[in-house]
Amino acid sequence: MIKSTLTIILLFALSFQSYCQLDTVHLLSPTGNYTVGTSVYEWTDESREMKIRPEFTQKRVIISQFWYPVDSDSNLINAPYGSLSKDYQKTLTNSFLRASIAQEIDKVPLVLIVPGRGTERFLYTTIAEELASQGFVVASVDMPEIGYVLYQDGFTLYPSDDFKTPSGMMAGPYERVDAFFEKPTEMGYQDLLFVINKITELNTYVFDSKITLRNIGVFGHSLGGRIAGELTAKSEKVKALATMEGIPPRDVRYEGKIVVPSLMMCGSGTLKYAVDNYNSFIDNRNSIIYMTELVDFGHNSMTDNPYIYPKNFGYEIDPKKALEISRTLLTDFFKEYLLGETGFYEKNKDMEFVKMVKNQ
């Protein structure tokens, strides 16, 4: 069940527990017409540093994983899930390693995935594979100190405790929450700018100049939603914003700095905490905003984790159903606002979402 309404989410810290996968799990098959290719790139930003330990820093190293449409070929090699992660060795993907982008495609929109605090880029593989099968190029970004980053040499960098929400802060006032997340938001925003510049280079020699880098969609989860909102407000290249239980920064909300269509999604369990904060975004809007309550969803239901490890999550919704709903919502949204295909969202753009909530 999905219903449109007004809501917001508090930014939850994710636990960094280790899993042990006993059974083989195959991710949901994509529904689009294209076979999906994937590749991973590790880049060093020489202009900035990352904290390895309190007394030790190095140049900032960022990992991005791409999923994109490819031509079907019997010689394709299946891609692993999670690369070096021991927690996901028995998870099977629908992607193929280092295949060439589909020749029949001309201009392809880019969708950036901005993970939540403590999550890895590959936990959004089901969504990424679906978007790629529909004709998008997708890049999910591991952000050091914000996310959980497993580098190609095997080194693991855990999220910084500097960005772990202090006990009691989420009780309010929300201005304190906004202030607390200013530093990681700026850090993540700079990471995304760096990645977009690197994609500009890749576009020439890897993607045959097929990516339209002035037609970008962004999907952010939790803290990633705040970072995605910052990028959307500051970059004219971003044409559509979607978030799951994440809200743009305070100045972006109150000053109406986002001028492109936005899709705000939230699990029903957080709705009661959140209306006033999303109102600060809605009441000052300069664009279409779709507010969607995801009934029985949990904070991580749009990631692969509950599907791979169902016993570790107590969400009411079936994990498979949650992923099916999630990828449909995102695919339809980005198809409409990046590809210009009229569908559900365009037909319902005049709905009075704000009135619906305030009159409840």
- pLDDT digit of tens for each residue in the chain (360 aa)? 444 333 333 333 333 445 565 689 999 999 999 999 999 999 999 999 999 988 899 999 999 999 999 988 768 899 999 877 788 989 999 999 989 999 999 899 999 999 999 899 999 999 999 999 999 999 999 999 999 999 988 899 999 988 887 776 665 667 888 898 999 999 999 999 999 999 999 999 999 999 999 999 999 999 999 999 999 999 999 999 999 999 999 999 999 999 999 999 988 887 777 777 888 898 998 888 888 888 899 999 999 999 999 999 989 999 999 999 999 999 999 999 999 987 777 666 665 443 333 333
Q: Which pLDDT belongs to residue 19?
A: 59
DSSP structure class, residue 268: G
DSSP 8-class letter at 99: P
Task: State how many domains the chain has.
Answer: 1
d(CA 207, CA 129): 17
pLDDT digits (tens, 9 = 90+) for 163-184: 887 776 665 667 888 898 999 9
**270 phi and psi angles, rounded to 5 deg:** -105, -5
| All residues at 6 or more sequence positions from 3 whose CB lies less than 8 Å from its CB, including other chains | 292, 293, 295
Whether 11 and 177 have beta carbons less than 8 Å apart is answered as: yes
- State both tokens at 146: 């914000």
Mutual angle of helices 223-234 and 182-205, in 10-degree steps: 70
| Distance between CA atoms of residues 301 and 324, nearest Å | 10
Does the model's pTM come out above 0.95?
Answer: no
For residue 173, give the H/E element and its range: none
The pLDDT value given to residue 87:
84
List the domain range (segments joined by +) for residue 209.
Answer: 2-358
- pLDDT at position 10 is 32
Predicted local distance difference test score (pLDDT) of residue 350: 62
Question: Taking the CA atoms of the chain, what radius of gyration do you get in angstroms?
Answer: 19
The one-letter code for the residue type at 353 is F
73: CATH: 3.40.50.1820
Distance in angstroms (rounded) separating the CA atoms of residues 67 and 74: 18
Alpha-carbon torsion angle 105, 37, 308, 144, nearest 10:
-100
Q: What is the pLDDT of residues 272-307, one digit of tens each?
A: 777 778 888 989 988 888 888 888 999 999 999 999
